[in-house]
Amino acid sequence: MTKRTSICSPLALIVSLTVSNSLWADDALNDSLQTHGFLTQSLIVTDHNNFFGKTSDNDHLGFTEAGVNVSYRPRNDLQLSGQLLSRRAGDTDGGKIRIDYALIDKTFAERPDRRIGARIGRMLNPLGLYNETRDVAFARPSIFLPQSIYFDRNRDLAISSDGVYFYGENRRRRTELLWQVGAGYPRVGNEEIERSFFLTLQPGYLESSSTPSYLGRVLLEIDGGRYVFGMSGAHVRINYRPGGGDVLNEGLISFAPMFLSAQYNGEFFELTSEYAQREFTFQGFGPFRPDQSFTSESAYLQGVYRFNKSYDLLARYDVLYVDQSDRHGKAYSALTGLPAFTRFSRDATLGVGWHVNHSLLLRLEYHSIIGTAWLDASDNLVPSNLTRSWNMYAALASFRF
């Protein structure tokens, strides 16, 4: 796909479906049919290293998101929902329009204090506090979510899966308990996912294991969401199929992320923190990739102060260690010869947001970063060219309807 084509794809998506939305407006089904969309363009500048394009050189407009979602409720206990998305993200994503999610939601039982149902199809994974809304700039507290928890380089793997989920809501006076549990098959057909596991592209390919992956989340909300506590996790299995002349055998990658989340929502101030561990296991790849297991660790602390309905100020500290037994990457560097700082990241962020009106959002953001653990390899093909300490400046404009 050429650069020209990839830039036009998000605009073509949003324009064509905006026209469709206006045509639907007079339809008799309008009461049960809802459509929404968004178009987000970011400007990114880095003094070293690259993030979503050659941002340390002259490619500063490499991150664009555009989507349209539709929901239709033919009856009170049944809803159909879906979203088309076009996303440009440097060399990791070229703007191809794809189905982000498409599902059927069936409610089995509902009363004032309880609801139980199921969803089947391609569903957003219930991981952490932000994964299900991460593509919508208006639902994010910053231009980029904490990369230690919500990797953009592995977005397709994390964002959704094909399967079935059961969910429930239980309300008791000041508290509400929400749970989701299910099984599905992750989306792994992305070169950047392969690079994140093997550092370089291999002759073979990754595919979901025949054994489904399992995901679940429990959220406890107190005082109408003033306090939120959550725990979520998954167990994911991915197969590697060797290609011609491959030095790797057929192997299995499994990882089990677990997230702990906590949030306080006041009238003007919001405080959020999440902690995650991910257990990785590589098995059966042969002598050129011996069996290996390690656990990554990450966390962030974030505060948002809202001056009023229009302006907010954000401060966040975000850390990631690829291997908690080798936090500073020294053992990894001695073994591979690669820079030790590629195994950790520490990111201090300041940002400001302006909700101009219901439809337009503007943001500015500054990141002071040490380490490169969450950078995508596609935009940084030569590890020896990476820099340990670097800065990133970003601006965002987002429109929704």
pLDDT band at 252 (very low <50, low <70, confident <90, very high): very high
pTM (2 d.p.): 0.88
Q: What is the mean pLDDT of the chain?
A: 88
Predicted pLDDT of residue 14: 45
pLDDT greater than 90 at residue 9: no
Model pLDDT for residues 325-365, shown as the tens digit of each residue: 999 999 999 988 899 999 999 999 999 999 999 999 999 99
- The pLDDT of residue 377 is 80
Question: Domains of the chain, with CATH numbers?
Answer: 3-400 (2.40.160.10)
Cα dist from 401 to 63, 136, 171, whole Å: 20, 12, 32
Query: Does residue 23 carry a pLDDT above 80?
Result: no
How confident is residue 158, by pLDDT bands cut at 50, 70 and 90?
A: confident
Say what percent of the chain tops pLDDT 70: 92
Q: Has residue 42 got a pLDDT over 60?
A: yes
The predicted model gives 312-324 an average pLDDT of 97
Q: What percent of the chain has pLDDT over 90?
A: 64
Quick check: 59 pLDDT over 90? no
Least confident of 14-18, 62-66, 71-75, 275-279: 14-18
